[in-house]
Amino acid sequence: MVSPKEEYIKLLTEVSKGEGLDELTSRLMAILYLETKEISLEELAKRTGYSLSGVSTAMKFLQRLELAKKVKKPGSKKAYFYVQKDFMENFQEFFAKKASRSILSLKQNLPNIIENYEKSNASSEELKIIKNQYKQILVFERVMKKILKILAEEMKK
């Protein structure tokens, strides 16, 4: 029989895999999310059954995504990791950092590209596609700002 803890870890692993993470990275996120304290790289390798090298690579990836944080403990040379336990805060941080970067780049650069298309003899169909994308980016940005505002208000309750 599977323990509730393992059932929960399996569920979070599957959800993370559905979002594009590989098996190891997904399992690490699930383990870290449920852990009440920082956990060492060695312990993560032991719990997952993966090599220390594989776990280290996956943790570096999670750090780059800003999903996991690394800490050092006084008197120890080991690296310890944790994840923020607040689901809404994780979502807000992820969107604010990751999605906003992509949106900001498109929002800043598409008007110039549209202008260049309008000045050139380029395809009007291509211009139509790019203008539509720009319009959708602006709508998406407004909607996400509203969603984040609502989430912040709801979490205060």
- CB atoms closer than 10 angstroms to residue 8: 14
Tell me, yes or no, whether 95 and 62 share the same domain.
no
Tell me, yes or no, whether 101 and 68 share the same domain.
no
Catalogue the long-range contacts made by 14-21 (C-beta closer than 8 Å, 24 or more residues apart): none
Tell me, yes or no, whether 74 and 95 share the same domain.
no
pLDDT of amino acid 91: 67
Q: How many domains does the chain have?
A: 2
Tell me, yes or no, whether 58 and 91 share the same domain.
no
Among 47, 82, 117, identify where a domain stops. 82
Alpha-helical (H) ranges within the chain are 4-18, 23-34, 41-48, 52-64, 87-94, 100-119, 124-156
Tell me, yes or no, whether 93 and 44 share the same domain.
no
Tell me, yes or no, whether 73 and 96 share the same domain.
no
Among 82, 106, 122, identify where a domain stops. 82
Tell me, yes or no, whether 67 and 123 share the same domain.
no
Instruction: Using a cut of 0.85, tell me whether the model's pTM lies above it.
Output: no
Residues of the chain with pLDDT under 50: none
Among 82, 99, 114, identify where a domain stops. 82
Q: Could you read off the pLDDT of 59-69 as tens digits, one per residue?
A: 999 998 888 99
Tell me, yes or no, whether 97 and 150 share the same domain.
yes
Tell me, yes or no, whether 64 and 113 share the same domain.
no
Residue percentage of the chain with pLDDT more than 90: 52
Output the CA–CA distances (angstroms, integers) from residue 34 to 12, 39, 80, 107, 154, in the order listed: 10, 11, 15, 38, 24
pLDDT of amino acid 157: 81
3-class DSSP state for residue 83?
coil
Tell me, yes or no, whether 64 and 29 share the same domain.
yes
pLDDT of amino acid 98: 66
Q: Two tokens at 107?
A: 């929002």
- CB atoms closer than 10 angstroms to residue 9: 20
How many residues belong to the chain? 157
Give the Cα separation of 39 and 5 in Å (integer): 16
Domain, as residue range, for 93? 87-156
Cα–Cα–Cα angle for 141, 111, 92, rounded to 5 degrees: 20
Tell me, yes or no, whether 61 and 110 share the same domain.
no
Q: What is the CATH number of the domain that holds 53?
A: 1.10.10.10
The single-letter code of the amino acid at 135 is K
Tell me, yes or no, whether 126 and 64 share the same domain.
no
